[in-house]
Structure 1
Amino acid sequence: MAQGFCWVELLTSDVEAAQAFYDAVFGWTCAARGHAARDYRVFFHEGDATAGLLKLPEEAKAQGARPAWIGYVASPDVDAEFGAIVAAGGRMHRAPETLEKIGRFAVVADPQGAAFALWTDLTGAKARDLPPMTVGHVGWHELFCDDVEQAFAFYSKRFGWTRGDALDMGPMGVYQLFATGAAPVGGMMKRPPNMPQPFWNHYFTVAALDPTLEKAAHAGGQIVHGPAEVPGGAWIAQCFDPQGAFFSLVAAQR
């Protein structure tokens, strides 16, 4: 069975300001999920947990990390997967660690440098299954990388992802869809020259793009791409929040 993304989390330099921004843009609410060692918060949309919020750790900042969203891939064995990724040429950002009665996680990067996290849930709770492209939640995962074929081979071997359509984008190269179940959940493409390194980009689904972009701009965000229509008729845009974290939007209508 393929292992897919199960969670996204924002690591930011200003938790209060970030919370206010995303609440204003997406209509989320936020609640603390206390842990002895950290102030962890969870965003909710209409009662369903949609994303995490955490202050960027000082040790990560010392290594050059900046505010960013990170995706978590579900793993039945974080330690074994962590070792296999490092052995395959990936990088270790944070060794496996247990949050008592919550979960076990590790932070890694694929062989081309795109960071993501591994997660094993220890709560026993099961999240409600939501239809694809549910408003208020992540609707698409996109990898910007240096070599699409190498990237797909890595994730396919590690997590069982399957190949979808390969879309010809002309000078931008091929956009390779991938699936973790029956339908595609993301794509991989060669990163543009202005992107400093490979990374995972996560798209949040909204009801309509233009009103959401107006909210983002009013709240201090910066729109860097879009609105743009993509194959299939959806509309996307890419933005920075006020603390500099990159995020994207997708909607069925503009």
Structure 2
Amino acid sequence: MTDFNGKFFWYELMTSDPKAALAFYGDVVGWTAQPFGGERTDDPYMIVSGSAGPMGGVMTIPAEARTCGMTPWWGGYVGSADVDADAARLSAAGGKVMRLAEDIPGVGRFVVMSDPGGAVFMLLKGSSPDGMEAPTGMPLGHVSWHELYAGDFDKDLAFYTGQLGWTKGDAMDMGEMGSYQLVSQTGATDFQGMTGGIMPCPKEMPMPVWLFYFTVGDIDAAVERVKAGGGQVMQGPMEVPGGAWIIQATDPQGAMFALVGSKGEA
């Protein structure tokens, strides 16, 4: 069984139009989708899968969240052995409980947290002792990079490394934008073992947030699919260390996401 404690392992889109979002990402990223548990309701929770199996879900923004001003948003779940104990520990370390812990029948127990700088993530302990197997490499349709636009760079870096056991790799100087700190959720210190990066939140960003990079094939072809589907490319394509190419974009409903791929690969 894969150990998900302290690691992102499930990704969830809350959106204003799930059907339209599923059609968009199905074309852009290549996901397939099916209702959770075979639900046959008008508004089911939809499980989305990449080439290596299920990786996340798509749902309508809950009414209470919409009333509070929530707009379409991608969130990530971090594995936890004890949600309540971890929530208390992370709160003592500068995090904040945004929604009290509760059980999801047939799924597990979760809590909504924010880090010291204000970026939101969830903790989840599954109700089954068997977790989903984490894919290796960069399978199509799966998250292969996690990027935090930190509201408080120093405190957030200390929070994730100190409380979740992440390790630091190299830091890259971005000039006026500050430092881009490579991090690993798996304990690695070499470049190949890095799983994400933390950087100060740019002034252009409305708030601190986690951004997730979905793996595609050819990045230029993916750009055309984003545009054809009604999304907007905000930045890129740009080459990053290691030879991959990335873009940052918004889907037709306004949720921010990113893609990572290659040049000239189908």
Question: What TM-score, normalized by structure 2, do the two folds share?
Answer: 0.90
Sequence identity (%):
44
In structure 1, distance between residues paired with 2:139 and 2:22: 21
1:62 aligns with 2:72: no
Q: Distance in 2 between matches of 1:30 and 1:15?
A: 11
Equivalent residue runs for 1:164-179 within 5 Å: 164-179=169-184
Q: Secondary structure at the match of 1:59?
A: helix
Specify every segment of 5 or more residues in structure 2 that has no aligned partner in the other structure, as ranges. Answer: none
Matching of residues 4-19 of structure 1 within 5 Å:
4-19=7-22
Aligned residues of 2:116 and 2:152 also touching (Cα < 8 A): no
Q: Which amino acid aligns with 1:12?
A: T
Residue 222 of structure 1 corresponds to which residue in structure 2? 232
88-97 vs 173-182, greater mean Cα deviation: 88-97
Structure 2 contact 51–139 (Cα < 8 Å) conserved: no
Task: Give the superposition deviation at 1:116.
Answer: 0.4
Matched, 1:199 2:215: no
Q: Does 1:76 align with 2:81?
A: yes
Q: Distance in 1 between matches of 2:131 and 2:114?
A: 27
Quote the offset at 1:47 in angstroms.
Answer: 5.8
- Does the 8 A contact of 2:167 with 2:183 survive in 1? yes
Deviation at 1:44, TM superposition (A): 1.3
* Residues 95-134 of structure 1: pairs in structure 2 closer than 5 A: 95-134=100-139
1:216-250: per-residue Cα shift (whole Å, max 9, x none)? Answer: 11011111100111122211100100110000011
Q: Partners in 2 of 1:146 and 1:46 — Cα distance? A: 34
- Count of aligned pairs between the two proteins: 254
Could you list the runs of 4 or more consecutive aligned residues of structure 1 that deviate by over 6 angstroms after TM superposition? 35-38
TM-score with structure 1 length normalisation? 0.94
SS at 1:205 equivalent: strand
Deviation of the 1:207 alpha carbon:
1.1
- Which residue, 235, 246, 258 being the options, matches 1:236? 246
Stretches of structure 1 that go unaligned for 5 or more consecutive residues are none
Which is worse superposed, 234-243 or 128-137? 128-137
Asked if 2 retains the 8 angstrom alpha-carbon contact of 1:139 and 1:204, the reply is: yes
SS of alignment partner, residue 207 of structure 1: strand
Cα separation, partners in 2 of 1:225 and 1:97, compared to 1, 3 Å: same
Cα RMSD, aligned residues only: 1.9
**CA distance, structure 1, for counterparts of residue 78 and residue 116 of structure 2:** 16
Deviation per CA, 1:169-206, whole angstroms, max 9, x where unpaired? 22221110111223110000011111111110000011
Q: Deviations over 1:75-98 (max 9, x none)?
A: 101111112223333232221111
| Contact 2:50–2:139 (Cα < 8 Å) also in 1 | no
CA distance in 1, matches of 2:23, 2:240: 30
